[in-house]
Structure 1
Amino acid sequence: MDILRYVAFSTDPQGGNPAGVVLDATGLDEAAMGAVAAEVGYSETAFAVPRPDGALDIRYFSPKAEVPFCGHATIATAVAHARRHGVGELLLHTRAGQVTVTTSAQPDGSVTATLVSVPPRTEELAEADLAELLAALRWSAADLDPALPPRVAYGGARHPVVAAGSRERLAGLDYDMAALDALMARRDWTTVALVQRESDTVFHVRNPFPPGGVVEDPATGAAAAAFGGYLRELGLIAPPAVLTLHQGVDMGRPSLLTVGVPADPSSGIEVTGAAVPLP
C-alpha cells in the first residue's frame, strides 16, 4: 500500500490542509482504512479503489471515524491521480453520491482541481441546538452577524453555518471540545462552519472538527460547498458568483478556496484549489 501525503488548498507545504491519499486501496476493509487513517494522523485520509471504467470508488476516514465526503482529501486525491496518470476529468463514487473532479496544469507547474459537489441543501437549525452550539463555542447571540442566519448546510456532509459579526470574534476561537463533540455526534454534523463576511464575495472561515479528533480543520472543501449552497438558497449572493474563502490563517496554515456558485438551484457547487505533495 502506497500512502501519499499531500496538502490541499495551497501551493506551499506549510499552508493548506494535509491529507493522506491511497490511490489503490483494493482489498482494504473498513477496519484497515480506519487504522491507516489513525496512523497517518491527518484530519482525513482518502482511500480510492479504481473501477474498470476509470472512475474511482472513494472513502474518507478521519483518525476517529469515517465521513461521507471530504473536500480537501478529494482535491488531494485528484491532484495525486493527475500527477500519476495525467490531468483531466475524474468521476468519484462517494458515500454522498457521484462527484466529478477536473484537474488542470498551471503555468507554474502546480496542479489545481475543481470538484462539483452533490446538489446542496439547507436545513433549519433548531433554537435549542443553536443555544447549545453557542454555549460550546463560548459565543453569545450578540457575537453573530444577523445578515447571515444560522442554518445547517449540506454539500455532501452536514455543517451548521454560524456567522461571526466581526473578524476579531472569529479569530478568538476557544471552544469546549467535549461539549461540541457530543452535540455534533447527536446531530450528525461533520464540522462547524464559522464564517465572517469581508465583502460580497470574500469570506474568512474556520471549521472546528472534534468528531474527527481535530480541534480545527485548516481547509474544508465539503463545508465550502455547503456554504456556497447556503448562500444561494437563502438569496445572500447573486449567482452565478465566485467566492473567495480564506481559511487556516488563524492557525498558521493559510488556505485559499475558490467556490463557484451556479445560478441553477439544482446544480452542485464548484470548489477549486491547488494541492502539492508534502516532503
Structure 2
Amino acid sequence: MTTNVPRPEVLRYTAFSSAPDGGNLAGVVLDAAALGDSDMLAIAAELGYSESAFLTAPPAALGGQEGRAYSIRYFSPKAEVPFCGHATVAAAVALAERIGPGELLFATRAGTVPVEVAEESGAVRATLTSVEPYIEEVADADLDEALAALDWPAADLDPAFSPRIAFAGARHLVLAAATRARLADLAYDFPRLEALMHRLDLTTVQLVWRESATVFHVRDPFPVGGVVEDPATGAAAAAFGAYARELGLVPDDAVLFLHQGEDLGRPGELTVTLRAGDQRVRVSGAGARIG
C-alpha cells in the first residue's frame, strides 16, 4: 500500500445466508481507491476467504446513477477473478445498510451487473443479474482429466446431465453426480485439478446433484483461488442456470433452489431465476455482516 495512506476499513460479510455461520464469507472494501493490485491481493490473502470485493468510483459510462453505481474487482487469496457472485451479494448488502435498499450497478471485468437489494422478512436479500451467458462443449480428454483429478469414475455421473463448460461472468465446468453420496465424497487431487482449470480458464468446477425438479445440491472446488472448496458460489449458480436451460433440463421460465455448503458445515441457499426471452440469469440470496 502507498506509504502514509491509511488502510481502508475491511468489512466482513456472509452471502447466501442470513446467519453468520452459514453461506460464504467475503471481505468488502467500500472505498478501495487508494489500493493497488498488490494491496488488494494481500488483503484477500490475509482474510483467506474465497473472494473479497473492492469498490471504487464507476467508469464514466455508468455516470448519472446518483451514487448507486460502482466499479468492483474481486480477489481470491491467489489471484484476481473476473466475477464473483457471493462477493457481489455481500457488497450489495453492505451498501444497502449504508445508503438504503434499491437498485445498484456494478462495473465488473466481465461486464455490467445490475443488483437489486430489498428487505424481506427481516433479512436483506440481493438479486444480481448476470452478463450474457454461454455454454460450450468440453473435450473428452479434458473431461477424463477432470474425473481423474476428482477420483470420480465416469459411471458415477448422472447421464441426464451432459458435462459442459458454462459461463455467466466466469467459466465453470459442470459435472452432475448420480447420487448425493457421490457428491458428499469429495477428496480431490488439488495440484492436478488446479493445472487443468488454469489450462481451461475455469474459475470453479460446479458439481451438482438433482434432488427434485427445482432443487439441487452443489459443491465447487476452487483450487485456482487457493481454496479447496467455495461454500456458496453465485457465479457458478448463474452459469448452472444457463446450462440447465440450454440443455432443456428446466423450463425457460423457472425458479431453481441450490443448496450449497452443507458438507462444509456452512449451509446456504442460492435462488436462480430464469425468464423466457431473457438469456441473462438472476441469482438471489440473503446476506449478513459478521463480527
TM-score of the aligned structures, taking structure 2 as reference length: 0.94
Structure 1 residue 28, shift from structure 2 partner: 1.4
Instruction: Pick from 202, 222, 228 the counterpart of residue 235 of structure 2.
Output: 222
Structure 1 unaligned segments of length 5 or more: list them.
Answer: none
Structure 1 residue 107, shift from structure 2 partner: 2.8
Match of 1:96 in 2: 110
Q: What do the CA deviations read for 1:116-175 (whole angstroms, capped 9, x no partner)? A: 000111000110000000000000110000001100000100000000000000000111
Task: Give the alignment of 1:1-279 within 5 angstroms.
Answer: 1-51=8-58, 53=64, 54=67, 55-108=69-122, 110-264=123-277, 266-279=278-291
Q: What do the CA deviations read for 1:219-271 (whole angstroms, capped 9, x no partner)? A: 0000000000001111111121000000000110001000001112x531000
Match of 2:4 in 1: none
1:192 is paired with a residue of what secondary structure?
A: strand
Structure 1 residue 41, shift from structure 2 partner: 1.2
Structure 2 unaligned segments of length 5 or more: list them.
Answer: 1-7
Structure 1 residue 101, shift from structure 2 partner: 0.3
Give, in whole Å, the separation in 2 of the partners of 1:168 and 1:8: 26
Structure 1 residue 65, shift from structure 2 partner: 0.3
- Asked whether the equivalents of residues 242 and 279 of structure 2 are also in contact (C-alpha less than 8 Å), the reply is no
Percent identical among aligned pairs is: 62
1:269 is paired with a residue of what secondary structure?
A: strand
Give, in whole Å, the separation in 2 of the partners of 1:204 and 1:36: 31
1:226 is paired with a residue of what secondary structure?
A: helix
Letter in 2 for 1:14: D
2:280 is paired with a residue of what secondary structure?
A: coil
